[in-house]
Every structure is written in structure tokens, then in C-alpha cells.
Amino acid sequence: MVNIIDGHNIADKLNIETKNRVDELKKKGILPGIVVILIGENPASVLYTRMKQQTAAKMGMHSVLKKFPEDVSQDEVLAAIQEYNEDPTVNAILVQLPLPKHLNQTEIIEAIDPKKDVDGFNSSNVGKLYNNEKGNYPVSCTSRGIMTLLHAYLDQLEGKNVTIIGRSILVSRPLQSLLINENATVTMVSLHTDNIDYYTKHADILVVAAGKPNLIKKEQVKPGATVIDVGINKINKHLVGDVDFDDVKEVAGFITPVPGGVGPMTIATLMQQTVDLTEWSLID
């Protein structure tokens, strides 16, 4: 029988833990601070940034939502980041993606101080993760959130065959690094892969981050596999994932629903990592 992975439950537990850590820091006179930068008015971005800013505020953190108009210049964004890099009340800086096309996303991400790069996208943090360096550094919140889900439901990841559909730098690639560093065997497949099923059918853990509604059917899934659905697609006002949930739950061992699976973990991990960055800044 399939087990539904309860992202809300795991996220709630993590949030309680994080809130406790915030309280402990505040007792010592330390206030974790996060700045969320929103550029333009993409409805999803407006929604996500508001949720992020409000969740941090509710946890008692110093939480700023900095808005720029759609036509802001590259230099203005870089100047603001530079200011927050130097601002001791700010421990975490997040630039909501995607950015308007006239902006250079790579340059903006690279401008964030790696020690305040709460999304973990800065190349030096990515490189440390890929090289499995010891020490403290942030990683992609969604990827780390998926790892928290996996650890909550599976005894170990070592030796597991993992197939990731999609190879984005925001989720798939950092997740691949995290899994490899825990001794899983990982294949990232893409639309260039000629026989995706060869990899999906062998996967003990199947992660789908393709952005295509109901792409994955039960015939493609190994019986008993853990299926993690990163997709968020809107169809007739309903949210659906990249996995055909009702079909795949007949064969999967564990499966995340959409909504209520991976989604809640992203913001919970963002909060967790803001506190991490604050604590790490004290021991540097």
C-alpha cells in the first residue's frame, strides 16, 4: 500500500525547530535577518516573496521585502545587493527568480556574498557542494527540503538508484550533488535522453522536476519506489504535479502529493537556512 508523504507535517516540525532556534538566538541578543528581493510583478513571484517575507516575520526574524519595478537597471539591483552584503542586520539575501529578461541573472546571483546566499546558488557554494567539501555553506532550499523529506521516510539513501527528470540549476543539479554525497547513484535525465524509461524503471527514488503536468505514469515506475514530485502546474484552476498521482500511487511505495508535498519544504528550509547562516556568521 502506498504511503503519502506529508510535506506539511514535516515542514511544520521543521518550522517549530527553527522558531525555537530563533528564540534562542534572540535571548542572546541576536536577531536573524532576511531580505527578499522582488523585481517586477510576476504573480507567482509576488505570492512566493510575500509568503517568504511573512513566514520569516512570524518566526520573529528581521524580515524585509525589497521591491523593484520591472524595468529596474542591473546597476540598481547590484547596488542594493552590495548594501545588504555590508549590512550587519542582514544574514540572508534572496533574489526571487526568474528575473526580467533585461537583467543578467548570473551576475546578480554571483554578487550576493556567499555567506548570505540563502538560496545557495552562488558558484562558490555550488562548487563546495559538488566537491562535497566539509564545513558550513548554504544549498538550494528546495533540494535540501527534498532531502529532509527523504530522510523522514527512508532509512538510508546509500546505494539507492535515483533518477531525476530535469536538470535545472535551481533544484535538479544541487539535489544530484546532495544525493551523490550520500552515496546514492544518480542519473539526471532530460529531453535529450533517448530512453527515459530505462532510468525511471530502475529508480528506487524517482524525482520529477520536468514542469510537464502528469508526465509520469505507473508503467514507468518501479514497484515500491519513492516518488518525489517537484512539479507545480495549474490546470483549470487546480494545481497538479508532473506525476500522474492517482495512476502512480498504485505502484509507488511513497509518493508526494501536489500540493502538500515538496512545496511546504521550500519555505521551511529557507527559514532553517536563514538561521543557519546567522549561526555560522557567529563562529566565523
CA dist 119 and 126 (Å) reads 10
Is 281 annotated to bind a ligand? Reply is no
- 183 touches a copy of itself by CB under 8 A: yes
- 155 touches a copy of itself by CB under 8 A: no
Catalytic: 52?
Answer: yes
Is 4 annotated to bind a ligand? Reply is no
Say how many residues touch a copy of itself, by CB under 8 A. 36
Q: What is the DSSP letter of 115?
A: G
Is 232 annotated to bind a ligand? Reply is yes
Provide the 10 A C-beta neighbour count for residue 58: 12
Q: What percent of the residues of the chain are helix, what percent strand, and what percent coil, each to the nearest 5?
A: 45, 15, 40
Long-range Cβ pairs for the range 105-109 (8 Å, 24+): 107/74, 107/78, 108/74, 108/77, 108/78, 108/81
Give the max Cα distance, the chain. Answer: 57
- Tell me if 7 sits within 8 A of 149, measured CB to CB: yes
Q: Scan residues 93-112 and list those touching a copy of itself (CB under 8 A).
A: 106
* Cα R_g (the chain), whole angstroms: 19
Nearer to a copy of itself, 85 or 185 (CB): 185
Catalytic: 96?
Answer: yes
Catalytic residue among 117, 119, 229, 242: 119
Is 166 annotated to bind a ligand? Reply is yes
- 184 touches a copy of itself by CB under 8 A: yes
Nearer to a copy of itself, 198 or 238 (CB): 198
What is the nearest approach in angstroms of a copy of itself to the Cβ of residue 201?
A: 10
Dihedral class, residue 243 (left if φ above 0, else alpha if ψ from -120 to 50, else beta) = beta
What is the nearest approach in angstroms of a copy of itself to the Cβ of residue 246?
A: 29
What is the nearest approach in angstroms of a copy of itself to the Cβ of residue 226?
A: 16
What is the nearest approach in angstroms of a copy of itself to the Cβ of residue 215?
A: 17
User: Which three cell numbers mark 44?
Assistant: 507567482
- Tell me if 113 sits within 8 A of 93, measured CB to CB: yes
Nearer to a copy of itself, 125 or 266 (CB): 125
Annotated binding-site residue numbers for NADP(+) = 166-168, 232
Give residues in contact with a copy of itself (CB under 8 A): 106, 121-128, 130-134, 158-159, 161, 167, 169, 173, 177, 180, 183-190, 192-194, 198-199, 202
Known catalytic residues are 52, 96, 119
